[in-house]
Structure 1
Amino acid sequence: MRNKMIEIFMFPILFFILLLDGQISTLVTNWSVGLFTISSHLVLMLAIFYANYVSLGFSLFIFTLLGLVYDISYLNLIGIATTTLPLVLYCIYFFFQSAVSKRGINILILLVAIFQFEFISYSFARIFHITNLSVFIFVFNKLLPSLLFNLVLFFVLQPLFERLFGITNKT
């Protein structure tokens, strides 16, 4: 019953979180006074917890829709996030096939997922001549600050996510 409720409310919650991600990213980037471009990835944080409750096929469908919304809202072209978000989600499910959901594993999976999303998106942008940003500038001005920000955010929000999804650290 609980898994069915999670499936029903998955898209509206993730859609709201995607919109919130954009606002948080803009706010934090403005705080950095143009030195860094920081992206919030609350959607990927929730994907780590949804992976334990929702089937892969349904999740891929939802994240393809979210990628489409992301592309239309933020990039004004369709394809980059529509391809990248389901790919990252599939990797999250792949990691959970051989690992149990624990705090340390969740942090590692989050870092890998953010790296995948950011680097694959950057690679697509380079391939399709959307950007001419060098890899060095991308890594130090976008990727590294985003990883650090999301790591701190995950440390703060992980107890809340565990409480919402009913996960305990008892053995």
Structure 2
Amino acid sequence: MNKLKLTIYFLLLIPIMLIDPHISELINTFFTSETHISIFLFFIFIFYLSQQIGYFIAFPLSLILGMIYDYYYFDYLGIMVIAFPVSISFLYIFTKYLEKNSKIQSTLLFSIYLFLVNFICFLIVRSLDFTSLSWTFFITYELLPSLIVNIFLFVTINTYLNRFIY
């Protein structure tokens, strides 16, 4: 991937990251107050982008984007700075052992990637006592609905992103 395309994709990540919470809030108005669905267009785009660029570019990029994400969403540095690089590393470990990348494998990898990011974030937030949510409440009312909606969104925009990025 040439440097111009990489720069364009990096610059596209910022508006996508800024749009995500507004879409999430719009969708959450249709559900009960206990259920919280997060739309992760940003993670979908990073997932595709990280499969195109090498690990030595994706890892520092995930650190930078993790810092921006932490500052914008949490106003606390350290949550996504850890979660993004760890999940990108696991993503590269999983893709190293796959022979052919099909749509089903991509969907499964994305669901694992999204689970890892959310799980690591919850572990960090829970260990720093930023939340008092229990595991069962988090999985039932936040993680599972978000995974279902984002996997559906991933499958829906899969062909468009394949044409755009590849």
Normalised by the size of structure 2, how large is the TM-score? 0.91
2:87 corresponds in structure 1 to 88
Measure the CA separation in 2 of the matches of 1:127 and 1:49.
30
Displacement of 1:11 in angstroms is 1.7
Deviation at 1:123, TM superposition (A): 0.7
**Would you say 1:36 and 2:35 are equivalent positions?**
yes
Find the counterpart in structure 2 of residue 102 from structure 1.
102
Check 1:41–1:18 CA distance in 2 against 1; reply closer, same or farther (3 A cut): same
Question: CA, structure 1 residues 83+63, in 2 after alignment: closer, same or farther (shift >3 Å)?
Answer: same
Question: In the alignment, what sits opposite 1:51?
Answer: 50
Tell me which amino acid in the other structure corresponds to 1:152.
F
How far apart, CA to CA, are the structure 2 residues paired with 1:16 and 1:66?
Answer: 12
- How much is the aligned-residue C-alpha RMSD, in angstroms? 1.5
Q: Bigger CA drift: 115-124 or 35-44?
A: 35-44
How far apart are residue 51 of structure 1 and its match?
2.8
**Conserved 8 A contact 1:41-1:150:** yes
Output the CA distance in 1 between the equivalents of 2:63 and 2:131.
23
Task: Give the superposition deviation at 1:89.
Answer: 1.3
- Structure 1 partner of 2:161: 161
Contact 1:111 1:147 in 2 (8 A): yes
Cα deviation, 1:38-97, whole Å, max 9, x if unaligned, reads: 111222222332233212122122221111111111111110011101111121222221
- Unaligned stretches of 5+ residues in structure 1: 167-171
Structure 2 counterpart of 1:126: 126
- Please tell me whether the aligned partners of residues 38 and 145 of structure 1 are also in contact (alpha carbons under 8 angstroms): yes
For 2:92 and 2:45, how far apart are their aligned partners in 1?
Answer: 13
Calculate percent identity across the aligned residue pairs.
25
Structure 1 residues 117-149: Cα deviation after superposition (integer angstroms, max 9, x where no partner): 111111111111000100010000100000001
Amino acid at match of 1:149: V
Post-superposition offset of 1:165:
2.4
2:51 and 2:138 map into 1 onto residues whose CA distance is 33
- Give the equivalent residue in structure 1 for 2:4: 5
